[in-house]
Structure formats: structure tokens, C-alpha cells
Amino acid sequence: MACILKLPEKNSKGVVMFTDMERDRFSKDKLLHKKILLLKDRWVVGLHHNLIDCRSDLNKIFDFAMSSPGQYNGDLPLIPFAACNFAPECFHPSQNEKFWDILFVARAIKFKKVNEFLQCIRKLYDLGGKYRVMFICPIPSYKWRDRKTVIYNIRKIYDGMFSEEEKDLFTLLTADYREPFPFDRKTLAHFYKSSRIFVHSSKRETQGRVGCYAWASGMPVVGFSCIATTLPDELKIKPYFYEAKSYDDFPSLIEEAILSTKDGNNDEIKDWSKVISVFSESSTKKALSLELEKLFYSKGLAYVRGNETFGNLDTRVARHHSIEPNNLSVVMMSLHKFTDLLKNEIEIVTKAIDKEDPEVFLASLFPVQDGKKNFIFKFFKKIWLKKLI
């Protein structure tokens, strides 16, 4: 995704970010590659590492990288933040009654290890720990090519593992609409504020927003070390993070984490402010401005504050561009059109700066045709032209 962080001004360049997925498209599109380079007379161009792929010949066209410092091993100047560091302020500690003991949020995708999470809860229940569990599980739309990576039968698996009485305690909330964000973040935050701990069962995921929303909400997190790569080393301790070495560790760690949230426990560590400040946008937006200012000065550039657009960065800096309807993780605008606007239509771009989502607003000004219809049109046009010839 291309994400505008700051507009250019008379004596100061603007800042625009792309993801590593967009970066990899530049190698296949020489014209787009050239357009990115031509932006640099008015824009400082950054690269957000969604997939932590730090080694690429194309990295040299960027001025800086944005990634969790514990993950980055590239050569670009680093802004030490990722999308997960900008949890909206609706994710905050709450005195709400904790209805659920355990919360997990993950799409029904195999690398999220949702089957293993179900098995961990099964073990807990077999050991007598009858905890209330909320598992929010968006299910991607069915695609035949994804049948080996998406667990489309997650409800069947759940039904086969838990009795009706256990389902009264363990809610599997599946959603097959508005993928991958069936709920707005204020609604999602309600589940966090009503739960004691967050559990994440993936062995691969880093920079995951759902776990960082938990830390922003003052919740202990149970998971493998990869989940905690966004935490500073000195905060990778209990009661903030309960590290599992294997899935066999999860039941006892979950119980320990739940116990730590109850009154009278954890008296030795009550201060969550340091953890929250790493992930809450109320702190990280100010820190981002300072980091960008340092970057500009290191390049001999003037940084003029103002015209920064730091809202909703938890989603904006990690999205992608598309000209076909896909899901809420894409913006319906081609990269060619977006870069043309940045280069030649700064007046139009300026109109977006105070919008809640500047890139979506810009895309709304230039609606694209449905990609499938466009493909069909081109296919029959080609046949028709052949007949004429």
C-alpha cells in the first residue's frame, strides 16, 4: 500500500510509504519503478516491511525502512515502528468486568495455528479449567486455490471437539463477511476490554496487530517468541508476556496469566505504562514525528511539522493497492494512478489530508472498473479485432 504520512510544503518534502509487496511489483513494472524514482524530488519515500523481507535489490530506491527493530536486518535507515505500534486509543486498559478469561482473534488460516489453539483449550478443559473463551475467527471467502491454506471447516472441527455444555463457555464467533475486519475497531476493542488475557498460537507471525492491541489494552499475552518481537527485550517478561516453548506449555501458562489478572496478584509489577506506550498511537504518533525529523536532518533536509497524517496507521501502512474488489485490506486504486497524483496533482492530494482515511478518499474520487468485467471486456474486444482483421 502507498500511505501518505506527510504532505510536501514549500521548504520541506512530504513522506510516502510503500509495502514490500508493492516493492516487489516494481521489478515487473519498469514504468512504475521510474515513477517512484521521479517522486523523490518532492517526497521522501519509505518502505514498510509487512513480511520482514529485508533483503532485496529494490530496497535501494527507498530512503528509509519502517519495521520493528527486533526484526530488521536491512541496510536502510530505520524508523523503528510497524503498523502494530499504532493501536487506536479505543484499545486501552479498562475496569470493565472481565466476562471472558481468554481472547483469541485470528483468521481461519493454517499458519495462524487455530487448530492448535482449539487443542490447547481442549486440554485445559480436560484438566478441569473451565474458562470462558472468545475466539473471533473471520473466514475468507471460498477460493478453490486456497483450499490447502484456509480452514473452511473450522466450525465442524470445533463441533467435534467440544460438548454443548462446553460451548456455553467457549464461543467460536466466525464471520464470513467484511474480510478480514468484520468488526470496526471500537467494537473489537470491546472484546479486549472484556477479557483477561490474549492467546496467540502462531509459530510464525511477527508484528501481528491483534497481539499488540492486547498490550495496548493492558492484557497479558501468551504465545511463542515470534509474537513478542515487537516488545522491547526488557518487557518480554511476566506478566506482560508468557512465552511458550511448545504447545504443551500453553495450558499452564494460560492459567498463570489468568491468575495474574486477579485482584491481589502481581503486586510486584503493576505498571503497564511502558508496555502501553510502545503500542498506543497516543504515544507512538509523537515518537514517529520525532523519528522522521531525525531522518530528515540526517539527510540534510528540513522537517516542518504540520500536514502530517498519522491517523489509522495500524491499517493504512500495511494495506495494498488493487483494481479488483478483494477485501478491506486493499485500496481500490492502481499504483500508477496514485503515483501520478503524488507527482502531478498535489492540490487533489491536499484535499485528502484531513480525511479519516486519505488513501480511501483519493480512491473514491477515481473509481475503477470492476477488474473481472474489465478482463472480460478486453478478452472479447481482442476476439472482435481479430475478426475485423
pLDDT interval class at 2 (50, 70, 90): confident
State how far Cα 326 lies from the chain centre.
17
- Check whether 387 has a pLDDT greater than 70: no
- Check whether 72 has a pLDDT greater than 50: yes
Question: For residue 386, what pLDDT is reported?
Answer: 44
Percent helix, percent strand, percent coil in the chain, to nearest 5: 45, 15, 40
Question: For residue 328, what pLDDT is reported?
Answer: 56
pLDDT interval class at 369 (50, 70, 90): low
Distance separating alpha carbons of residues 24 and 56, to the nearest angstrom: 9
pLDDT interval class at 184 (50, 70, 90): very high
Beta strand 3-6 pairing with 14-19: antiparallel
Q: Residues of the chain with pLDDT > 70: what percent?
A: 89
The H or E element spanning position 24 is helix 20-26
Query: Per-residue pLDDT averaged across 267-295, rounded?
Result: 89
45: β partners? 16
Give SS3 for 57: helix
Distance separating alpha carbons of residues 46 and 64, to the nearest angstrom: 5
Give SS3 for 331: strand
Question: For residue 52, what pLDDT is reported?
Answer: 64
Q: pLDDT digits over 79-126, tens only?
A: 999 999 999 999 999 988 899 999 999 999 999 999 999 999 999 999
Question: For residue 207, what pLDDT is reported?
Answer: 83
Q: pLDDT digits over 50-63, tens only?
A: 876 666 777 888 99
More confident call, 384 vs 109: 109
Instruction: Give every CB contact of residue 359 below 8 A, 6+ residues apart in sequence.
Output: 1, 2, 3, 4, 316, 319, 331, 333, 338, 352
Q: Please tell me whether the peptide bond between 182 and the residue prior to it is cis, using omega within 30 degrees of 0.
A: no
DSSP labels, 241-284: EEE-SSGGGHHHHHHHHHHHTSTTS-TT----HHHHHHHBHHHH
171: β partners? 134
Beta strand 100-105 pairing with 14-19: unpaired
Question: For residue 382, what pLDDT is reported?
Answer: 46
- Tell me how far CA of residue 82 lies from CA of 11, 41, 161, 279, 332, in angstroms: 28, 26, 37, 10, 23
